[in-house]
Amino acid sequence: MNLFIGAFTTIEYSLKGIISAPLCWLIQDAEPRKIQMLVRDPKNEVSKVFSGTHVIREFEINDLKLVEVSRYKAFMESIKSLNNNFELQITSIAGNDRIQFTLKHFPAAGAILDSALGVKKLYNWSFPTVVDQEFTAVTVEVAHLKDFIEIISRNNIEVFYIHDF
């Protein structure tokens, strides 16, 4: 009996794989690898902060630029390197004026996040086996992004993930 069930299951999953293969092939590159941002860049610093930057359009008003940058890990590393030493100011990320972060920190650092300007704490969690670390999801107003990065860098709060849109 088990041999029959095992053989039937193998045949069933093989047929499902064959049927879904063309669909997987069609949508394999459906997710965008780049994200667009509107930045105020008076000193042309965007290429220093974000690797692989492509300027789509430059506006004459207020030194605004529409740029395309890599997503995922490259985006996260670039945002983490953004600090007050640069005059670059991000206006919107993928058309959003808020961005979500998942942070990893010591439990005492949660109070620092509560008092940060433009930051809204969504939820936090911890693992029962790791008592000295906590994870917190926050949304940050893009206008206060540089200040937020400065605060978390100074307080040893690690950026675990950035949800770019």
Which residue from 74, 77, 80, 37 is spatially nearest to 55, judged by alpha carbons? 37
> Structural domain of residue 149, as residue ranges?
34-163
Q: Do 98 and 146 fall into the same domain?
A: yes
Q: What whole-number percentage of the chain has pLDDT above 70? A: 93
Q: Do 48 and 117 fall into the same domain?
A: yes
pLDDT tens for 21-41 read 887 777 776 666 788 889 888
Instruction: Give me the DSSP letters along 22-54.
Output: HHHHHHTT-S-SEEEEEEE-TT--HHHHSTT-E
Inform me whether the pLDDT recorded for 60 exceeds 90: no
Q: Do 23 and 98 fall into the same domain?
A: no
Q: Do 22 and 64 fall into the same domain?
A: no
Q: Do 89 and 8 fall into the same domain?
A: no
Q: Do 9 and 42 fall into the same domain?
A: no
Q: What is the mean pLDDT of residues 110-115?
A: 83
Q: Do 5 and 44 fall into the same domain?
A: no
Q: Do 69 and 88 fall into the same domain?
A: yes
Split into its structural domains, the chain has a count of 2
Q: Do 9 and 71 fall into the same domain?
A: no
Q: Do 3 and 45 fall into the same domain?
A: no
